Structure formats: C-alpha cells, structure tokens
Amino acid sequence: MLSSPNSGEIRHITVDEESAGQRLDNFLIRILKGVPKSHIYRIIRSGEVRRNKGRVSADDRVALGDVLRIPPIRLSERAEEKAAHPAPAREFPIVFEDEAFLAIDKPAGVAVHGGSGVSFGVIEQMRQARPQARLLELVHRLDRETSGLLLIAKKKSALKALQDQFRERETGKTYLALVKGNWPARLKVLDQPLHKYLLPDGERRVRVTTPDDPDGMRSVTLVKVAQRVPTPAGLEAALPEGLSLLEVTIKTGRTHQIRVHLSSAGHPIAGDDKYGDFELNRQLARIGLKRMFLHAWRLRLTHPVTKSTLELQCELPPELYKWRSAGIE
C-alpha cells in the first residue's frame, strides 16, 4: 500500500492477484486512501497514470503483474487534512463471515460508501477497522436509510461470483416494509418499468413509466402481506385503514425500486422522505418512527467457493420491531 498520499515522488505499483480484474479507478481509490476521487480521475484523464508505460482509462481493468506509474500527488490543505484524518474505523454487526466474504447488519442512516455529500460510508470505515485486509469491496448497495443485510467481498473471485449472481437475478432478496393503508392481498406482483431522472439540484429520483419509454427499465417486485398493524392512537384521521407489514422480494435491483413501486401503488413506505406521505411521516415521527421502515431481511445465495446454498437472515432492529409486535397476524 502507499503511505502518505501527499508525496512529491513518482511511485510504481505492481498489481497483485487479489487486485487483478478491478477497474483502475476503484483500484486507485483503494490504494490512494484519502485522495479525493476528483483528483484521481484528473490524473487518469491527463495521462499521468500509466500502465506498463502506456496510457490507461478509468474503466480499464488492471491485470496481475501490471506496473502502474503513480505521479506525485499534490493536495490542497483541505484535501491533505482529509487524507490525514480518514474515515473513523468501525466494525458492524456480523451476520456471516468466512474467508471469502462477510454479511453485516447495516444500520439505517449510514451510507454504504462515500460520495454525493457523504465523506465516508460503511466500506471506508471497515477498511480502516481492518487495515490488514487485502481486499474489502461492496458486493451490492443499500439506500442510506435502509437497514439490514449487506455483503462485502474479501476476495476478488468472491466479488465477481457474487456480483454475477446479483446481475443474473440468481439471488433471493426479501425486505420488510411497513406501508400506509390496507395492502390488497390480491396484489402480489408489481411489474412496472422505472425511469431515473435528476432534480434541478442534481439529486436522483425515480418514477414509474410506460412500457414504451426507451429509458424505462423493467422492474419486478413481489409482495406478500405479513400482517396488519392497527392504527396507532391519535392517527385515526391519517390512517383510517391502519398499516400493512409486507414481505417484499425484488427480482430486479433498480434504484429505489421498492420505494417507488409501493408508493405508486398508493401505499408509500412509512417514514420514506423521498416518495412517502410527508405529513404522515411527521405524525409517525412524533410517536417514535423516526426513520424509513425498510429493512433488508433475508438473502438466499450460492456460496462463491463451496457452491452451497446459503440463507441469511437479519432481524428487525429494535426501533422497527416494536411496530411488528403491535401487528395482527
């Protein structure tokens, strides 16, 4: 690994077996700890980073034995301060771990990685907590306000195998979501394309679109009613039909898929600050629900090494479980 990122020397790094196959930008982000991503992309675009003495692009994948030339890194005082004080080390509750990967219970309110106004996330904190780890990479992502199962690969081969399963829809991902109203038991499949767009401030949003939208992505969500939750005292006007706790399985992994599909069906997730019922959210917050009720609950996958079937489960955190315990089976 490289030591001080603010260095006046040219350095050469040889790609090892665990790093082979990574995109160049991701490799440099991991190696040049604390260096802003914008700076890394600039030195790649300018040709200052060389692979085997030739130019290389950010999305090129490095190979075993490649020699990378890293130019002198000069950071601003602010960037240097950030590099000198990286993400605080933090471990998260472990649901499963072996030599290939681990599954953690991600709390709500924590981003999975830095960026978009967030200086660090789960992966940066875990790398600081485990400096001896040769590789720690996110297998998939969860929204910042979603809690539950998150996979992190410890080997390049495991990363590829697990990501292939997610891409080929070979995993079973089931979430628990508490939604407004009485979800109709007959409504079991939501098969609606989704369209991503940006707000004027650059923030991402998603909406249901028509099948003929060229930018629409097919999105399939399966819904099962787990139980009904009675209307909390004092919210009779806002929740005349109470709430429904749903088991939601996604067959595609689109941005904000569950949130948009459920909201579009007229049953937004309780506490959802992007697609929810904002007035209801305020009232729920006053009686204790201060976050979005969406939790990555169960995950079925094939182990990347042993090829055995794994069923992982992560129970609701206390601030959500009390709502389930109030439900009607």
Contact 310, 279 (CB under 8 A): no
Residue type (1 letter), 145: E
Point out which residues pair with 54 in neighbouring strands: 51
CA 68 – CA 140 distance, rounded (Å): 28
Contact 123, 152 (CB under 8 A): yes
Of residues 143, 164, 201, 272, which has the active-site annotation? 143
Token pair, residue 57, equals 């692009």
Helices and strands (DSSP H and E) totals, the chain: 8, 16
Contact 180, 263 (CB under 8 A): no
CA 272 – CA 284 distance, rounded (Å): 11
Q: Is 143 a catalytic residue?
A: yes
CA 141 – CA 111 distance, rounded (Å): 9
Which sequence positions are flagged as catalytic?
143
